[in-house]
Structure 1
Amino acid sequence: MIQYTDKTELVEAIKKNYLLYDKEFNDISEDKKDLLKPGVDKSPSQNISYQLGWTSLLLQWESDEKKGITVQTPAQGYKWNNLGGLYESFYHKYETYSLDQQREMLKNQVNKIIEWIETLDHDTLFIPEQRKWATTPAKWPVWKWIHINTAAPFKNFAAQLRKWKKQTGTE
């Protein structure tokens, strides 16, 4: 997995990968947003709904901990070893929005995450066990949680969207 030396590198990776990811939606028409294709796990709407769900959870975990609320990860009623239902809840929550609306919501979420990162000091971001919600047996630091819910899937899911577009002839 990639390593970052400071928050500037993390923020730049998020920005770069997000912009490339978002660009993939430019030529997807609204009437095809729910189209599933063989060999591609998600429709375009499901793809961005997944991102909206995880970025929202990331921000919620931090917000709840700051308020003194005990955070249950990944989410209330869901366990790490059975995430299918959580993904379905993301798809259901955002399915009525247009792709443009979903893109705008994700842009806002990414901006909030970047603003949040900017408020964190180096130790909070890079030393494990600085947040209760981020403390797991693996002892991941906060930056890693942010990375796996932003920069990494933005890059991976952009490739999925390109594959989807190739199959639909929209590439």
Structure 2
Amino acid sequence: MAVPVNKEELIKAITLNYSKLKKELITIPSELTSIKELEGHSKGTVMSINNLLSYLIGWGELVLKWIYKKEQGLPVSFPEEGYKWNELGKLAQKFYIDYQNYNYLELNTKLDKIVTDIINIINSKSNQDLYEIAWYEKWTLGRMIQFNTSSPYTNARARIRKWKKENDIKD
């Protein structure tokens, strides 16, 4: 799918990519979700399915936080307070720790809610708000949302499909 350039395409990309990811997630036995066998977000690391969900949740929550703070006129630390853009591997590790006490079902439920919240925010915005105004440096709000939702959902699905194939897990 091409990079979304308007509100309708953004909603479609998030909805489609998330629905494809969910189809993969529902076929994973929960007892396998905490085993660290997937390539991690930092070079030379491994992660579990639960870590991968934690990563997606962490980024989704950051998107919501950025939007909320901007709307309140508060300063926003991008990507997150205490992290620089060249430290995303460390940020991924933080997300794994943040959600380490959640089980697979809870992580799925939390991610579902975040995706719904983000789509609701997109629906509340005009196309101009999303794609015609620089929101962070040169990036529009729509692009910042897409970078941290639909694109990572596609990447996560590919990681899961590779892991399922390596472990002979059928759909």
Length-normalised TM-score, structure 2: 0.89
Q: Does 1:116 align with 2:115?
A: no
Counterpart residue number, 1:145:
144
Q: d(CA) in 1 for partners of 2:157 and 2:76? A: 30
Choose which of 71, 86, 89 in structure 2 pairs with 1:81.
86
Counterpart residue number, 1:9:
9
Q: d(CA) in 2 for partners of 1:97 and 1:106? A: 12
Cα shift at 1:104: 0.7
Q: d(CA) in 2 for partners of 1:21 and 1:98? A: 18
Cα shift at 1:77: 0.5
Q: d(CA) in 1 for partners of 2:162 and 2:112? A: 23
Q: Alignment identity in percent?
A: 32
Unaligned runs of 5+ in 1: none
> Contact (CA 8 Å) 2:130, 2:142: kept in 1 or not?
yes
> Contact (CA 8 Å) 1:21, 1:154: kept in 2 or not?
yes
Q: d(CA) in 1 for partners of 2:10 and 2:131? A: 11
Q: d(CA) in 2 for partners of 1:86 and 1:3? A: 25
Q: d(CA) in 1 for partners of 2:111 and 2:48? A: 16
Q: Does 1:104 align with 2:109?
A: yes
Unaligned runs of 5+ in 2: 41-46
Q: d(CA) in 2 for partners of 1:21 and 1:142? A: 23
Structure 1 segments, 4+ long, off by >3 Å, are: none
Counterpart residue number, 2:56:
51
Q: Amino acid of the residue matched to residue 14 of structure 1? A: I
1:83 is paired with a residue of what secondary structure? Answer: helix
Q: d(CA) in 1 for partners of 2:2 and 2:133? A: 16
Q: d(CA) in 2 for partners of 1:52 and 1:17? A: 15
Length-normalised TM-score, structure 1: 0.89
2:163 is paired with a residue of what secondary structure? Answer: helix
Q: Does 1:61 align with 2:46?
A: no
Counterpart residue number, 2:160:
161
Counterpart residue number, 2:76:
71
Q: d(CA) in 1 for partners of 2:13 and 2:127? A: 17
Q: What whole-Å deviation, never above 9, does each CA across 1:27-52 have from its counterpart, x for those lacking one?
A: 222221121226x3332111111100
Cα shift at 1:169: 2.2
Q: How does 1:86-97 map to 2 (within 5 A)?
A: 86-97=91-102
> Contact (CA 8 Å) 2:6, 2:142: kept in 1 or not?
no
* Count of matched residue pairs: 164
